[in-house]
Structure 1
Amino acid sequence: MEKHSQLTPRRKIVNPVFHLQTKQEDDKYITNGIVKIVRRTGQLNLANRGLAHLPEKIFTMYNIEKNTTVDYSINDVSEDNQWWTFTPLNYLDLSYNTISELPKQISNFEDLSVLNLQDNCLTSLPTEIGVLKKLTKLNLSHNKLQRLPKDFYKLTELQFLTVSNNELQNVDKDISNLVMLQVLDLSNNLLTSLPSGIGFMVRLTEVNFSNNKLTEIPPDIVNMRALVKLDITHNNLKFLPNFGEMRKLQFLYAQHNDIEELPNFDGCESIKEIYFGNNYIKEIIPEFCETLPHLAVLDLRDNKIEKLPDEIAMLHHLIRLDLTNNDLIALPNTLGLLTHLQNIQIEGNKLKQIRSDIIKGGTFRILKHLREKMDEENSPRCKAEVFVEKIPIYTFPDRYAMRNSRMLNVSVQNLVAVPESIFLDAKKAEVTVVDLSVNKLSTIPEGLQIIANNITELKLSKNQLSCLPDFLSSCRRLQYLDLGNNLFEDLPNALRTLRELKELVISNNRFSKLPDCVYDMENLEILLADSNSITEINVEGLGKLKRLATLNLSNNSINYVPPELGNLKQLRSLELKGNSFRIPRYAILEQGTETILSYLRDRIPSN
């Protein structure tokens, strides 16, 4: 398996030729020193030791009568011999070995709460595993299990269960007995169906059924009302149940199936990201757009969609929209009303009403074109304005609304200031997401300091901001910062402390270079800096960003692309169109990131 092969190098290689260890060799890993540590801590880590068997000494570690290495004289009162001070084994890690059988004596460790058997050669489990009633976390991934024994489903205290990358063909209906489960991963197996009653597992927050052979999802899955993330990618699904009851669902991954129509999401007010790429969806109905007020990412690439409804404008928090490789011949003008939209992908369609140079100009150019067309409508009241009225006009949210969503949202209100009292309420509601976009703010509200320590997402796009206060550097948990469509020329060096930041948007500002503080944001994965006045690319600075995967420098004033940029092999998306350089040629840019980077590397002068 691909994932298995990636993990294999982590194993300890003893000899160049594979050697299956004997029981005697395996027993050598349980030394007197290890026994002392286990007795004191209750934890045993034998990961990556090349074990073919579970060492027999494991089962006598607490049996001092049989331990001949210890002095049991009446004068020996050392801590090692005070059996009443021993901590029962509660943590056992046997991952990354070659164990093919789990002995029945595993039942001796009734106090186990964590058992890791990942990456072994297990083909079955003993029924005695059902005795481990205190298990809360069990990892069985990357083995060769074809079934789980009936007694397995007696592990009713399990909270985290991973059985991915095995050979399971079915799961017993008794899995519904595992009512304490919070995370369930059954991905990369051979499942063709799921048992009814699975919906009784109402504490689940994350479920992964991807890479199986499922043809349907049980309707009672909607009873998982605590579910936040559902992954059903790479199956044979044609239809999905209505998800309306899953009010906490935020992320749905359903790519690479045979789905023909979008399910009903009415009631899924928390959903943020939906992925339906590589299916057979033909249309987006208006009701779909009307029921998803917080949707930020919509991936519908590689489908059969022929038309977008005007109601697309009601997805007013949409940030990314991927319509690559569909059957669209036109885009609705109302798409231009999506004030938060930062990235729209429409390549691979047969659009007739938008010139190719506009499409090549990127998201900003496309949306500007659609807005201009809207203004040219002959009717005194164009249809788009009707949909603007349908978009909710938010007043300052109350504490209950903020506590429910953990979000302070006062976007699109023409605000020039935000009262401090709002931030005091936001602190009591434990708000983590703040949206102040599409207003008339010329300065950052001082009250933001009150919740700075809690913020993970901050949206300030489409205001009149030209500078940021240093106190933003105290937002140490910040992972997403959107400063697009403002008046910034630089950012304060104090922001270099934002080490957790993963995505930074500074598009459509007045930057002549990337701010120096950006190069110290070591966890940055996405940097959107298009449509500025940037004149040069600092390859040395970008080289510090080891996790940078997306870099957009399109529509700037760059006249030279350093060949050394090609050494940034971690980049998965590089946009350079709309600049004044002649090399690489446009034909190279059209072939995508991998071609661009390869081309640049070939131009690096040899010493």
Structure 2
Amino acid sequence: MDKHSKVKNRRKIISPVFHLQTKAEDEKHFSKEVVKSVRKTGVLNLSGKHLASVPEKLFSIYDFTDENVVNLDFNRPDRDDELWWNLKPLTNLDLSSNVLTEVPGRIATFQDLTIINLQDNSLTCLPAEITTLTKLTRLILNHNKINTLPNDIDKLIDLRVLRISHNLLEELPDSLVDLVMLETLDLSYNSIEKLPSGIGFLVRLTDLNVSNNKIKTLPPDIVNLRSLIRLDINYNNIKHLPESLGELRKLQLLYAQHNDIEEVPDFTGCESLQEIYLGNNFIKEIPPELHENLLQLKILELRDNQIEILPKEIAKMVHLTQLDLSNNELTEITPFLGLLPHLHSLKLEGNKLKQIRGDIIHTGTQRILQFLREKLKEEDLTETDSVVLVPSDACVFPDRYKMRNGNILNLTMKNLATIPDEVFSEAEEAKVSVVDLCKNKLTTVPSGLQKLSNYLTELNLSANQLKEIPDFVGCFTKLKFLDLSNNALNDLPDISLSNLRELVLFNNRFSKIPQCVFGMTGLEILMLNDNKLDEIDVVGLQKLTRLSTLDLTNNNINFVPPELGNMTHIRCLEIKGNPFKQPRYAILEQGTESVLAYLRDKIPR
């Protein structure tokens, strides 16, 4: 099986009636209004104008000919914005989504440019003069045919963002490592075989994406990228990750799917890691000590490997929310997984498990966890405390000094029915951004949480006795993760959380998707499994253009709208355990892409 998936060509399909614009037609896009706007704002947007060449008028836009003076009427005292000393130099140039094959060297005329967007054209190279634009901070070159970068690209001394994905690069200039101000570097979807040595000099880099290339090894000094938060090496030919990976102490997201990796690396030191994706590799073993180094890990994806044994110590990762072990060689699974307090997605399909029946696995995560907990009752539980970190029944509220270490207020499994406001006052002083109140006996959301509205990014209220959510939750505008699962909710108030990335609502009493959800435009993950939903509101869901994971398993859905198939940005769609007749189970087993394609075929033409 080819481990590299086929990447679809995302470029525009040119219709048979399309004709290449002449230079005269290109020039027409420079109207008087455009000229005035550029002079006033310093921004020129010519995106999607079908330009075949860069208009010559661009280079005379600040010239003061007699015609300019007449047309722009500079001498009118009531138009101060048109006086020459008030004109703003060109700082932002957007020529994206055209059919340009070259950019003239005269681009160097605009020495004040800080942003150039040339993505989605047909460029094969860049003019050498572009390296003279030393004020550039963002250079966007995605979706072109560029096969080489200027050797003296290091002259762009203030460049912060360089995106050059979906091009034809095979090698990189050594000077690239001298762009020491770089914070984001995207080299994905090229044919690069190796990264330049010295990449460790990019000490300000926070986001490095080299996915979908032909890289076999990573340079050892990559571990010197001490500011790195996100590393994406998906779809390469990498066999080994650096031994000193733990030096990346700020790393939060590691994407290493579809490689040739044989061993889980030593993550000692990677205490900030929250998500690890190691699927579609050749990993055979998970080291028992893995939990000791990943104290904050929430997502561990190990699907499509060759893992035979899952160490019981994995259950010490008490912050795990998603664990994917599907399509491995597992014959047993540790029942201690049933005690993980936050686990809401456990995938075990495609293994040879003996102690869990297939029908239980197909029912979903909650049923699996329930089965594992029941199995624990039959065993000797004397070792439970040594395997799973079960909190004490004694309720000891942390003070602000303890909360400052990690900015977390953790009151998991404290048997709490109320929480004093003083606790949140202390949390406010500590500027707490993460609050975990799961597995208590709360019947109402503590009003003291409002004190943290300026800081809160993650809130976990799962496994309580909540029947409603107060309106003030809508004030948590910085919230990115909200878990309300395992309560008694049947609706949500009209709250607008545009920055929310993940919303977990499974195991409640929702009969319809709450209307407020459709206004959460930043949502990427929506978990609504194990409720009482009787329909899928496709019109509402289509507003969530960033949604990648949608779980609707174990509801009362009788009909799956074919229009759901048009939501191709969904990477993971779970709809099993519902009474609908179509799609059939055989289609569901083929995965999300097949389900969406099936639904699209059912749309009436």
Note the alpha carbon deviations across 1:338-387, whole angstroms, 9 max, x for none.
Answer: 1211011111111112222322232122222222222222x4623x4312
* 2:558–2:580 Cα contact (<8 Å) kept: no
**Which residue in the other structure is 1:98 paired with?**
99
TM-score where L is the length of structure 1: 0.87
- C-alpha separation in 1, matches of 2:351 and 2:554: 23
**Which residue in the other structure is 1:30 paired with?**
30
1:119 Cα deviation from its structure 2 partner: 1.6
* 2:303–2:326 Cα contact (<8 Å) kept: yes
**Which residue in the other structure is 1:506 paired with?**
505
TM-score where L is the length of structure 2: 0.87
- C-alpha separation in 2, matches of 1:99 and 1:584: 44
Note the alpha carbon deviations across 1:412-456, whole angstroms, 9 max, x for none.
Answer: 333443343332343344443321112333332221011235433
Q: 2:282 aligns with which of 280, 283, 301?
A: 280
Question: Structure 1 residues 266 and 33 mapped into 2: Cα distance closer, same or farther (>3 Å)?
Answer: same
Q: 1:238-277 residue pairs with structure 2 within 5 A?
A: 238-241=239-242, 242-277=244-279
Q: How many residues align?
A: 590
Q: 1:151-550 residue pairs with structure 2 within 5 A?
A: 151-241=152-242, 242-377=244-379, 379=380, 381-382=382-383, 384-389=384-389, 396=397, 399=400, 402=403, 405-486=406-487, 488-492=488-492, 494-498=493-497, 500-509=499-508, 511=509, 513-514=511-512, 516-517=514-515, 520-521=518-519, 523=521, 526-532=525-531, 534=532, 537-539=534-536, 541=537, 543-546=539-542, 547=544, 550=549
**Which residue in the other structure is 2:69 paired with?**
70
Structure 2 letter corresponding to 1:42: G
- C-alpha separation in 2, matches of 1:251 and 1:210: 14
1:110 Cα deviation from its structure 2 partner: 1.0
1:244 Cα deviation from its structure 2 partner: 1.1
* 1:409–1:436 Cα contact (<8 Å) kept: yes
Q: 1:516-595 residue pairs with structure 2 within 5 A?
A: 516-517=514-515, 520-521=518-519, 523=521, 526-532=525-531, 534=532, 537-539=534-536, 541=537, 543-546=539-542, 547=544, 550-556=549-555, 558=556, 561-563=557-559, 565-569=561-565, 570=567, 573-578=572-577, 590=589
* 1:472–1:495 Cα contact (<8 Å) kept: no
Matched position secondary structure for 1:374: helix
* 1:496–1:520 Cα contact (<8 Å) kept: no
Question: Structure 1 residues 603 and 185 mapped into 2: Cα distance closer, same or farther (>3 Å)?
Answer: closer
Q: CA RMSD in A?
A: 3.4
1:6 aligned onto 2:6: no
- C-alpha separation in 1, matches of 2:437 and 2:354: 36
- C-alpha separation in 1, matches of 2:166 and 2:135: 25
**Which residue in the other structure is 1:20 paired with?**
20
Q: 1:65-144 residue pairs with structure 2 within 5 A?
A: 66=65, 68-71=67-70, 76=75, 82-144=83-145
* 1:564–1:601 Cα contact (<8 Å) kept: no
1:582 Cα deviation from its structure 2 partner: 7.5
Question: Structure 1 residues 499 and 285 mapped into 2: Cα distance closer, same or farther (>3 Å)?
Answer: same
Unaligned runs of 5+ in 1: none
Question: Structure 1 residues 167 and 551 mapped into 2: Cα distance closer, same or farther (>3 Å)?
Answer: closer
- C-alpha separation in 2, matches of 1:99 and 1:579: 50
Q: 1:591-606 residue pairs with structure 2 within 5 A?
A: none
* 2:506–2:529 Cα contact (<8 Å) kept: yes
Matched position secondary structure for 2:314: helix
1:279 Cα deviation from its structure 2 partner: 0.6
* 1:327–1:349 Cα contact (<8 Å) kept: yes
Structure 1 letter corresponding to 2:342: H
- C-alpha separation in 2, matches of 1:314 and 1:87: 58
- C-alpha separation in 1, matches of 2:35 and 2:578: 66
- C-alpha separation in 2, matches of 1:75 and 1:214: 57
- C-alpha separation in 1, matches of 2:91 and 2:601: 55
- C-alpha separation in 2, matches of 1:566 and 1:18: 32
* 2:491–2:510 Cα contact (<8 Å) kept: no
Note the alpha carbon deviations across 1:455-488, whole angstroms, 9 max, x for none.
Answer: 33321112233333332233344343212223x1
1:325 Cα deviation from its structure 2 partner: 0.8
* 1:200–1:223 Cα contact (<8 Å) kept: yes
Q: Please say which of residues 85-94 and 518-527 is displaced more in the overlay.
A: 518-527
Question: Structure 1 residues 23 and 174 mapped into 2: Cα distance closer, same or farther (>3 Å)?
Answer: same
- C-alpha separation in 2, matches of 1:74 and 1:469: 58
**Which residue in the other structure is 1:145 paired with?**
146
* 2:559–2:582 Cα contact (<8 Å) kept: no
- C-alpha separation in 2, matches of 1:86 and 1:512: 57
Structure 2 letter corresponding to 1:530: N
1:55 aligned onto 2:61: no
Matched position secondary structure for 2:423: helix
* 1:323–1:345 Cα contact (<8 Å) kept: yes
1:549 Cα deviation from its structure 2 partner: 5.5
1:85 Cα deviation from its structure 2 partner: 2.7
1:519 Cα deviation from its structure 2 partner: 6.0
* 1:565–1:597 Cα contact (<8 Å) kept: no
* 1:399–1:425 Cα contact (<8 Å) kept: yes
- C-alpha separation in 1, matches of 2:601 and 2:56: 57
Note the alpha carbon deviations across 1:8-54, whole angstroms, 9 max, x for none.
Answer: 26xxx8x9534333434333333444333222222222222222222
The alignment-based identity, stated in percent, is: 50
Question: Structure 1 residues 186 and 579 mapped into 2: Cα distance closer, same or farther (>3 Å)?
Answer: closer
